[in-house]
Amino acid sequence: MVPNPVMASYAFSTIFLFIVSAVISYTLIDIETVNQESVTLLHSGSLLKLYMSKLLYSWLFSIPLALYAILYPAIFHKFDRNPSLEELGMSFIYHITATWLGVALACWFSSKFIRSRVISFLMLSVLIVITLSVQGIKDQLPDALKSVIVLFPPLNSIINVMVDYESTSLFSKLWVAGASLLYGTMIAVLFLLMLHKRKLDSSH
């Protein structure tokens, strides 16, 4: 079997974990029945704390998967060479950043917003496909519209850096991770604010 290039292989596992984390978040966000959630809500003290915990738990569940994806191929010599400590460290950062992005995106398809689980799952699947196809979409857009790509989840930026890792500047390597974390955090916070607003509206 032909050994695999280090960062290109990690780019593939990053995409895979992005999808897995989105599914985990989608599942955990609505795992409780209405009665169970009422009990949990009493213990947590607020709806925001409850759903913030669900998001963080979804992310934490993906961290062991990220460690496995990084360490297994390195320890068992699945690459064409031994990865450097920098490559291992940055790859781990990219994996957990991508998983946070998946968690934050998937929470928007909660039954709190979309009642039908079939429709919400199909919509999430479409969003995942769009996220993975951003580069192709960008290439098809006229120059005047290419700037709208910044509104899309920045997973593609992480993958591009990983594939061209050796020729990428340190600033760009760190920037894509920070930008993705910021993007995920912003849409997670927006989700929590929308959830809080819906609760206030329903109480009137």
Region of poorest pLDDT, from 24-28, 153-157, 198-202: 198-202
Q: Give the Cα separation of 95 and 107 in Å (integer).
A: 19
* Helix H or strand E encompassing 161: helix 155-163
pLDDT digits (tens, 9 = 90+) for 137-195: 988 988 888 888 889 999 999 999 999 999 999 999 999 999 999 999 999 999 999 99
- In angstroms, the first-to-last Cα distance of the chain is 65
Q: What is the mean pLDDT of the chain?
A: 92
Could you tell me how many residues make up the chain? 204
Distance CA 179, CA 183 (A): 6
Over the Cα atoms of the chain, what is R_g? 19
Q: What is this structure's pTM? A: 0.93
Residue 55 has pLDDT above 80, yes or no: yes
**What whole-number distance in Å separates Cα of residue 25 and Cα of residue 18?**
11
Q: Residue 81 and residue 105: Cα distance in Å, rounded?
A: 35
DSSP secondary structure letters along 43-102: HHSSHHHHHHHHHHHHHHHHHHHHHHHHHHHHHTT-BSSPPPHHHHHHHHHHHHHHHHHH
DSSP 152: S
pLDDT at 197: 86
Work out the angle at residue 167's Cα, subtended by the Cα atoms of residues 81 and 85, and round it to the nearest 5 degrees: 40
